[in-house]
Amino acid sequence: MNSKAHDIAVPTARPVPAGRAANPNRDGDGAPRILLIVQQGAARDRYRREILETGACIDTAASIEEFQGALTQSAYNGIVIDIPTKIQAMNRHKALVHSILERFPVIQVNQEKGSGRVRALLHGRNSRQGELQALIREACLSRPPRRLRARQRHAIHFNLLLMRERHPEADGIERSVTINISPDGCFLYTTGRFREGLRVWIRILEFRDQTPIACEVIHHRPWGDTMTIPGIGVCFQSITDAQAYALTGHCPPPFNAERTAGQP
């Protein structure tokens, strides 16, 4: 059987053609990529020039639909977002914008009308002002590229065992629970320290098939950082057909709407 449930529709990215630099990273050469979120105009052209001078490739998005669509289709090392464009997006999609931006290194930019100077602010815990190129090199180019999940997660709380090795000793097993889950991955509770890109394994106790599921840590939310549940976001790297089918059976439509009769 196909171990993946069908995608929930998400907007397709249609970056403005004039705003897209040649992107060799699409061919897998590993060049860093920045997503620039800004309306068309002189400010966009100025931001592009500065980003290109760092050696990064650029995709552009001018709306929340292009923004979300691009992040589900491609992996980015960071986001540069124009403050007026961000304000406009948050007026209509505040929760969505916050949810997306907390997963990437984000630099907010604004071009002064009189001088044309670009003001840049690194967003997040280590918020500070600086030159746009310097902030990109420091906060984005050294980080692994990340993609936004394309499928909706559901607030289903499976009991699980979290392991840093596939077959650990007893004291290397942490009891945990999923906060939300999709066919591609989950966010699970932990107060441990996990670096992005680390491989971990989980066993979901509600599944009949107890084969450890290999996962990659995509996002780490440390304890005490914000008034939110600490934990890690992981993507599944290996999951058996039986586990994938068991997962769809616990989730509401349209997540499980296309299961075929006769599947185990």
User: Model confidence over 148-201: pLDDT tens digits?
Assistant: 765 667 889 999 999 999 888 878 899 999 999 988 889 999 999 998 889 999
Of residues 194 and 18, which shows the higher confidence score?
Answer: 194
What one-character-per-residue DSSP string does 24-90 give? GGGGTS---EEEEE--SSHHHHHHHHHHHTTT-EEEEE-SHHHHHHHHHHS-BSEEEEEHHHHHHHH
Phi-psi region of 197 (alpha: psi -120 to 50; beta: other; left: phi over 0): left
**Residue 152 CA from chain centroid, whole number:** 12
User: Model confidence over 53-110: pLDDT tens digits?
Assistant: 999 999 998 877 787 778 777 889 999 999 988 888 777 777 767 767 777 889 999 9
**Domain boundaries along the sequence of the chain:** 17-139, 159-249
* Average pLDDT over the chain, rounded to an integer: 79
* Interacting residues of 40 by C-beta distance below 8 A, sequence separation 6+: 16, 18, 19, 62
How many Å apart are CA 188 and CA 154, to the nearest integer? Answer: 12
- Which two three-digit tokens encode residue 64? 């929340």
Query: What integer pLDDT is reported at residue 124 of this predicted model?
Result: 74
- Domain 17-139, classified CATH 3.30.70, yes or no: no
- Which two three-digit tokens encode residue 58? 């650029």
Of residues 29 and 233, which shows the higher confidence score?
Answer: 233
Q: How many residues does the chain have?
A: 264
Query: What integer pLDDT is reported at residue 232 of this predicted model?
Result: 93
Q: Which of 12-21, 115-124, 250-259 has the lowest mean pLDDT?
A: 12-21
Q: What is the pTM of this model?
A: 0.55
Query: With 60 as the cut, is the pLDDT of residue 18 above it?
Result: no
Give percent of the chain with pLDDT exceeding 70. Answer: 81
109 pairs with which residues across the strands? Answer: 82, 120
CATH architecture for residues 159-249: Beta Barrel (2.40)
pLDDT category of residue 37 using cuts at 50, 70 and 90: very high
Query: With 90 as the cut, is the pLDDT of residue 4 above it?
Result: no
Query: What integer pLDDT is reported at residue 184 of this predicted model?
Result: 81
pLDDT category of residue 119 using cuts at 50, 70 and 90: very high
- Which two three-digit tokens encode residue 217? 């840590």
How many Å apart are CA 241 and CA 175, to the nearest integer? Answer: 24
